[in-house]
């Protein structure tokens, strides 16, 4: 009798499923995970260099932007029904309710930043293309290993068309700066990388 090979069955989770699962207590209160294209992804712990970099970015952008934008730290964004990543930094349009009634959607987002050491490959090959697919205008990947900032612009359905790498000693002006009436806003890469 011939053995029939069965393909594994994958179960995709929607955002509603994700919240229902969290509400059952199956996931620990301190669970670090994200919903990415219907899959629940465990996220690695945050080391001190990663945490310090995120704190610096939060402080810098908060001071510079004041009330022109909201700087969110490791809070969810909504990308369709099957993805709810938690970028290290999300710079979003201001809203009176500070997104209490719903996480930011792509049209709210000005810039997403991921800080990476252990998650570098994932942030570059999974998160970056996902952000592009949803039309996020600008994505920065802080590579703590190579000590550089990767900047991605001009999203398409598959990836970003333009990317550049910036080293300590250089500065970068976010694409939204002129739009917010801040054409002189620059971010020193040395500050980001410490």
Cβ atoms of 191 and 60 closer than 8 Å: yes
pLDDT (tens place) for every residue of the chain, 194 residues total: 566 667 776 778 888 888 888 788 877 778 888 999 999 888 888 999 999 999 999 999 999 999 999 999 999 999 999 999 999 999 999 999 999 999 999 999 999 999 999 899 999 999 999 999 999 999 999 999 999 999 999 999 999 999 999 999 999 999 999 999 999 999 999 999 99
pTM for this predicted structure: 0.91
**Listed residue (118, 192, 124, 186) closest to 160, CA to CA:** 124
| CATH code: domain of residue 126 | 3.90.1570.10
Q: Is residue 7 part of a domain?
A: no
Which one, of 113, 135, 127, lies nearest residue 60 by Cα?
Answer: 113
Q: Looking at the domain assignment, is residue 126 inside a domain?
A: yes
Which structural domain, as residue segments, surrounds residue 109?
A: 47-193
Instruction: Give residue 1's pLDDT.
Output: 59
Q: Which residues are within 8 A (CB) of 67 and not within 5 positions of it... i.e. 6 or more apart? A: 94
Does residue 28 belong to any structural domain of this protein? Answer: no
What is the structure's pLDDT at 2?
64
């Amino acid at each position: 009798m011939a053995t029939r090979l069965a393909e594994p069955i994958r179960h995709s989770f929607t955002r509603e499923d994700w919240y229902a699962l969290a509400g059952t207590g199956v996931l620990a209160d301190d669970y670090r995970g994200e919903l990415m294209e219907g899959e629940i992804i465990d996220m690695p712990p945050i080391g001190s260099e990663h945490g310090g970099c995120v704190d610096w970015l939060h402080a810098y952008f908060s001071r510079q932007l004041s009330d022109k934008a909201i700087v969110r730290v490791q809070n969810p964004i909504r990308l369709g029904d099957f993805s709810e990543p938690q970028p290290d930094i999300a710079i979003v349009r201001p809203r009176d309710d500070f997104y209490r009634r719903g996480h930011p959607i792509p049209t709210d987002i000005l810039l997403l930043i991921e800080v990476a050491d252990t998650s570098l490959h994932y942030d570059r090959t999974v998160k970056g293309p996902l952000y592009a697919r949803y039309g996020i205008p600008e994505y920065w990947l802080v590579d703590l290993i190579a000590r550089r900032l990767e900047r991605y612009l001009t999203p398409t359905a598959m990836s970003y068309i333009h990317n550049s790498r910036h080293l300590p000693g250089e500065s970068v002006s976010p694409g939204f700066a002129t739009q917010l009436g801040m054409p002189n806003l620059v971010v020193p890469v040395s500050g980001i990388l410490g």
